[in-house]
């Protein structure tokens, strides 16, 4: 007889792993036990050597669908007598040094949904129905190991019927920590100046929405503001209350057929929409687009998701609207509200009614957002449904641990432990005090559930004024750890290289701004990345930013700067005639900016691709003021999407100071010439975008030739633009190079912390 002791690490708690082990062991006639142990699973087995080995192989193949096994450590030895009479599931133990973590939240499964829609089932229309295959995980757990008493579900003792399911290893609700029913589980209620008396608060909420009300709806990991998406008046009222005049709203539709009434869906987009992760998917509006123009103003696309919680399914069951606006309930830059009192207090005057419930949200978690470019998925925001599932970093020393804090906007942070990088949910803009507090709480929490006690390195951005940089110093003092400052675009590139599995590449890093190692603002860079080092081999032409951040808000300032000294004619008069309304103080401000450029006062240097796209957008009178991040460039992309591609523009790459430079002023001069010729605006937008893309690609090809590198990659927020991404890809591949893009990480700042973790790993191989 043989005995085996196994420890399994990965996503193995809260996913039905123990009952799966129980069933498999009994099928193979093995005795022993299984239990959660801290943040791993421990298995003891007795039986034949062949039976134990078959168990291990079968477990790898037949594990529960939402589990993931990172490693199985095994010890098998011969024994003289049996210690176990049967196989059992033992009570959890809190002692462990493993690196497993609880899974992300999972959309309601088909089995639970079938029960919810069955009039004869005791869970009929119950919005908190869940099992081991679905429901909240990350947003309800307080500590490890993952058992009900360490989640917010401990507030709801199970009734006898639910307890019977919970204790039956053959039931799919065996130790499903979020399981409950109408008798013992959370209760929804409708609020307005007090709790409204109604037998069906969700049905009444749908009626109020269909009548033109705005509701705050508390969900799994946060709160949404909700209204009919086909009612322009109510959508505009929501915009006014939130102070978001133009930022696109995401929508939720009851089914694919409803989505097809206003958007086009490809096969890969349908697969993402219907997956158990249920992200928001950015789709192209259809010709028959029937939603309010104010949902996604000035854009050719729209963010859409399907219901992912039981509450969503029940709510949308009662409406005939094709979609509801479903946008995060927070003031711009602040974290989402999650507590009932703050939801009511913080959203008074915005929401007319509040559809709430009495389950605590332990971790707020925004919706994930993805977009497809040429059939390939890219994360815009990796959060609900994915976080905090880890990335494996193969070349890090196993005993190195680190906290990586990301940049300042669209922040995530990462915990690096045991060769696994756990990237947090979306945190947001940490220049806001409440968001910084959210970051600090979330760091402590993720360290706790990953069992991270000692930290060797704190990684942060190179920018000296980011609050994440000062927080890095605070953490370094707390843990007696080293601080590693990682250049912003190098971190972007390292995240991409990990995603693609390459060790060396020429990387095009294109975004709005990142602090360069020369103290200027970078954002259109050609980097040769190899090992822990990088070299800057090219960039866009350095341009002055009159007024600093004002030039990012009012892009006509960038346009004026880029044309100054190159435009043949009276530039000031041109701007008075065409763009004076793009300056808050009109003609007088144009003169001030001209003098500012002449004196060099408060005119920082930028090579940002975002600033160039902003200037093109302003030149074409597409967008004159940025009211949300990326607005001008996004509207430029949407204008270019309408083009038939009749025009083309040249670009000029020069070599200066040991690096390649793309002359972006020349591109703007061509734009102005085409405007003067009376060419179609969409055609100019497309041609200008393509010139920027191919100019970046040409510099990358030249750098790759020089360095003898065969792989070229694209990273940074500009690579969310499908037309630019495809233009760069085609240019690079036609010249014989491999082109890589982000697939399982964010091109934007959401994966900077992951890149910082890779930098730590490379430094401590």
Task: Tell me which residues are annotated as active site.
Answer: 18, 36
Please tell me which residue, 100 or 613, carries the higher pLDDT value: 613
pLDDT at position 159, please? 98
The residues, ordered by sequence, that sit 6+ positions from 577 with a Cβ below 8 Å of its Cβ are none
Query: How far is the CA of 63 from the CAs of 30, 66, 450, 667, in angstroms?
Result: 17, 8, 22, 56
Please tell me which residue, 99 or 146, carries the higher pLDDT value: 146
405-416 residue pLDDT tens? 999 999 999 999
Cα separation, 441 vs 363, whole angstroms: 10
Per DSSP bridges, beta strands 414-417 and 420-423 are antiparallel
199-245 residue pLDDT tens? 999 999 999 999 999 999 999 999 999 999 999 999 999 999 999 99
pLDDT at position 191, please? 98
- What's the whole-number mean pLDDT along residues 543-555? 95
pLDDT at position 98, please? 54
Is the pLDDT at 289 greater than 90? The verdict is yes
Is the pLDDT at 97 greater than 70? The verdict is no
- What's the whole-number mean pLDDT along residues 19-45? 91
pLDDT at position 262, please? 98
Structure tokens at 684: 């100019």
Cα-Cα end-to-end distance for the chain: 42
pLDDT at position 611, please? 97
Cα separation, 350 vs 568, whole angstroms: 51
Cα separation, 146 vs 37, whole angstroms: 9
Is the pLDDT at 95 greater than 70? The verdict is no
Cα separation, 221 vs 211, whole angstroms: 27
- What's the whole-number mean pLDDT along residues 741-757? 97
pLDDT at position 94, please? 62
Q: With bands split at pLDDT 50, 70 and 90, how would you rate the model's confidence at 10? A: confident
Q: With bands split at pLDDT 50, 70 and 90, how would you rate the model's confidence at 330? A: confident
State percent of the chain over pLDDT 70. Answer: 99
On average, the pLDDT of the chain sits at 95
685-716 residue pLDDT tens? 999 999 999 999 999 999 999 999 999 999 99
* Beta-bridge partners for 391: 421
Taking the CB of residue 761, how many other CB atoms lie within 10 A of it? 23
Give just the sign of the alpha carbon dihedral 622, 625, 627, 628: positive
Cα separation, 728 vs 386, whole angstroms: 29
- What's the whole-number mean pLDDT along residues 458-467? 96
β-sheet with 31-37: strand ranges across: 68-78, 2-11, 40-47, 31-37, 87-89
Q: What is the DSSP string of 716-764?
A: SGGGG-HHHHHHHHHHHHHTT-EEE--SSSBSSGGGHHHHHHHHHHHHT
203 CB burial (10 A radius; 0-12, 13-18, 19+): middle
Taking the CB of residue 710, how many other CB atoms lie within 10 A of it? 13
Q: With bands split at pLDDT 50, 70 and 90, how would you rate the model's confidence at 100? A: low
Question: DSSP state, 411?
Answer: B
Q: Which residue has the tokens 């307005």?
A: 192
Structure tokens at 275: 């997956």
Is the pLDDT at 571 greater than 80? The verdict is yes
The residues, ordered by sequence, that sit 6+ positions from 121 with a Cβ below 8 Å of its Cβ are 115
- What domains can be seen in the chain, in order of their start residue? 2-89 (3.30.70.100), 101-185 (3.90.870.30), 188-357 (3.90.870.10), 373-503+749-763 (3.30.420.360), 511-740 (3.30.420.40)
Report helix, strand and coil shares of the chain as percent, to nearest 5: 35, 25, 40
49-78 residue pLDDT tens? 999 999 999 999 988 888 888 889 999 999
Taking the C-alpha atoms of 674, 679, 685 and 686 in order, what is their torsion angle to the nearest 10 degrees? -110
pLDDT at position 105, please? 95
122-160 residue pLDDT tens? 999 999 999 999 999 999 999 887 889 999 999 999 999
**CB–CB of 115/98 below 8 Å?**
no
pTM: 0.93
The residues, ordered by sequence, that sit 6+ positions from 664 with a Cβ below 8 Å of its Cβ are 524, 540, 541, 543, 562, 612, 692, 695
**CB–CB of 405/411 below 8 Å?**
yes
Per DSSP bridges, beta strands 376-381 and 402-404 are unpaired
**CB–CB of 684/675 below 8 Å?**
yes
pLDDT at position 259, please? 98
Structure tokens at 457: 């390195």
- CA 664 to chain centroid: 31
Q: What is the DSSP string of 51-84?
A: HHHHHHHHHHHS--TT-EEEEEEEEEEE-SS-S-
> Could you give the count of Cα atoms lying within 13 Å of 622 in the half-sphere of its Cβ?
29
* Least-confidence region, from 187-201, 323-337, 406-420, 547-561: 323-337
State percent of the chain over pLDDT 90. Answer: 88
Q: In terms of Cα–Cα distance, which of 482, 489, 497, 420 is closest to 452?
A: 420
pLDDT at position 681, please? 98
Give just the sign of the alpha carbon dihedral 212, 217, 223, 229: negative
Cα separation, 672 vs 689, whole angstroms: 14
pLDDT at position 250, please? 98
Q: 3-class DSSP state for residue 41? A: strand
* H-assigned helices in 586-641: 586-599, 609-619, 631-641
Q: 3-class DSSP state for residue 164? A: helix
Is the pLDDT at 41 greater than 60? The verdict is yes
**CB–CB of 45/86 below 8 Å?**
no
Is the pLDDT at 96 greater than 70? The verdict is no
Question: DSSP state, 12?
Answer: -
**Could you check whether the bond before residue 454 is cis, i.e. omega within 30 degrees of 0?**
no
The residues, ordered by sequence, that sit 6+ positions from 252 with a Cβ below 8 Å of its Cβ are 304, 305, 306, 307, 312, 316, 323, 324, 326
Is the pLDDT at 99 greater than 70? The verdict is no
């Amino acid at each position: 007889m043989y005995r085996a002791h196994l420890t399994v690490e990965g996503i193995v708690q809260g996913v039905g792993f123990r009952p799966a082990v129980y069933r498999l062991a009994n099928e193979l006639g093995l005795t022993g036990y299984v239990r959660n142990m801290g943040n791993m699973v421990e298995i003891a087995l007795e039986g034949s050597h062949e039976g134990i080995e078959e168990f291990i192989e079968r477990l790898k193949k037949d594990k529960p669908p939402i589990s993931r096994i990172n490693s199985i450590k095994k010890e098998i030895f011969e024994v003289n007598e049996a210690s176990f009479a049967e196989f059992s599931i033992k009570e959890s133990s809190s002692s462990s040094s493993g690196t497993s973590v609880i899974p992300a939240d999972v959309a309601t499964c088909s089995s639970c949904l079938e029960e919810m829609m069955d009039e004869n089932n005791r869970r009929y229309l119950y919005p908190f129905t869940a099992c081991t295959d679905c429901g909240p995980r990350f947003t309800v757990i307080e500590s490890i190991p993952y058992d009900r008493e360490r989640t917010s579900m401990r507030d709801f003792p199970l009734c006898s019927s639910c307890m019977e399911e919970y204790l039956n290893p053959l039931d799919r609700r065996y130790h499903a920590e979020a399981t409950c029913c109408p008798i013992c589980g959370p209760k929804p209620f409708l609020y307005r100046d007090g709790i409204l008396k109604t037998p069906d608060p969700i049905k009444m909420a749908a009626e109020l929405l269909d009548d033109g009300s705005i509701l705050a709806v508390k969900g799994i990991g946060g709160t949404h503001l909700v209204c009919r998406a086909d009612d322009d008046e109510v959508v505009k009222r929501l915009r006014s209350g939130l102070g978001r005049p133009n930022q696109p709203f995401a929508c939720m539709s009851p089914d694919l057929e409803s989505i097809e009434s206003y958007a086009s869906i490809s096969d890969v987009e349908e697969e993402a929409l219907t997956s158990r992760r249920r992200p928001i998917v950015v789709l192209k509006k259809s010709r028959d687009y029937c939603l309010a123009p104010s949902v996604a103003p000035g854009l050719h696309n729209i963010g859409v998701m399907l219901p992912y919680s039981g509450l969503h399914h029940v709510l949308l069951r009662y409406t005939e609207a094709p979609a509801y606006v479903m946008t995060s309930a927070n003031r711009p830059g602040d974290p989402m509200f999650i507590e009932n009192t703050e939801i009511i207090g913080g959203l008074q005057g915005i929401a007319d009614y509040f559809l709430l419930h009495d389950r605590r949200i332990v971790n707020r978690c925004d919706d994930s957002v993805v977009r497809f470019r040429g059939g390939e998925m890219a994360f815009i925001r990796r959060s609900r449904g994915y976080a905090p599932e880890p990335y494996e970093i193969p070349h890090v020393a196993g005993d190195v641990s680190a906290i990586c804090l990301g940049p300042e906007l669209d922040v995530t942070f990462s915990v690096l432990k045991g060769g696994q990088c756990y990237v947090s949910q979306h945190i947001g803009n940490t220049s806001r005090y409440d968001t910084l507090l959210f970051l600090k709480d979330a760091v402590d929490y993720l360290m706790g559930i990953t069992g991270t006690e000692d930290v060797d390195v704190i990684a942060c951005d190179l920018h000296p004024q980011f609050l994440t940089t000062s927080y890095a110093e605070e953490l370094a003092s707390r843990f007696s750890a080293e601080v590693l400052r990682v250049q912003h675009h190098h971190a972007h590139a390292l995240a991409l290289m990990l995603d693609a599995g390459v060790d060396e590449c020429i990387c095009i890093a294109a975004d709005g701004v990142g602090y360069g190692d020369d103290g200027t603002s970078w954002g259109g860079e050609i980097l040769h990345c190899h090992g822990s080092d990088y070299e800057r081999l090219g960039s866009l032409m350095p341009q002055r930013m009159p007024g600093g951040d004002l030039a990012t808000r009012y892009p006509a300032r960038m346009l004026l700067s880029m044309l100054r000294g190159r435009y043949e004619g009276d530039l000031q008069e041109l701007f008075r005639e065409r763009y004076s309304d793009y300056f808050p103080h009109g003609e007088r401000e144009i003169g001030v900016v001209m003098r500012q450029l002449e004196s060099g006062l408060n005119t920082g240097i930028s090579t940002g691709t975002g600033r160039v796209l902003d200037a093109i957008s302003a030149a074409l009178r597409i967008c004159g003021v940025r009211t949300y991040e990326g607005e001008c460039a996004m509207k430029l992309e949407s204008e270019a999407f309408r083009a038939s591609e009749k025009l083309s523009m040249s670009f000029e790459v020069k070599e200066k100071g040991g690096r390649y430079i793309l002359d972006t002023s020349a591109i703007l001069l061509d734009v102005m010439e085409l405007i003067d010729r009376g060419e179609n605006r969409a055609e100019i937008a497309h041609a200008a975008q393509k010139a920027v893309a191919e100019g970046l690609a040409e510099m990358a090809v030249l750098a790759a030739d020089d360095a003898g590198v065969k792989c070229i990659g694209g990273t940074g927020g500009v690579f969310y633009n499908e037309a630019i991404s495809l233009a760069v890809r085609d240019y690079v591949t036609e010249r014989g190079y491999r082109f890589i893009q982000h697939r399982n990480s964010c091109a934007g700042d959401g994966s900077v912390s992951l890149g910082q973790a890779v930098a730590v790993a490379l430094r401590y191989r």
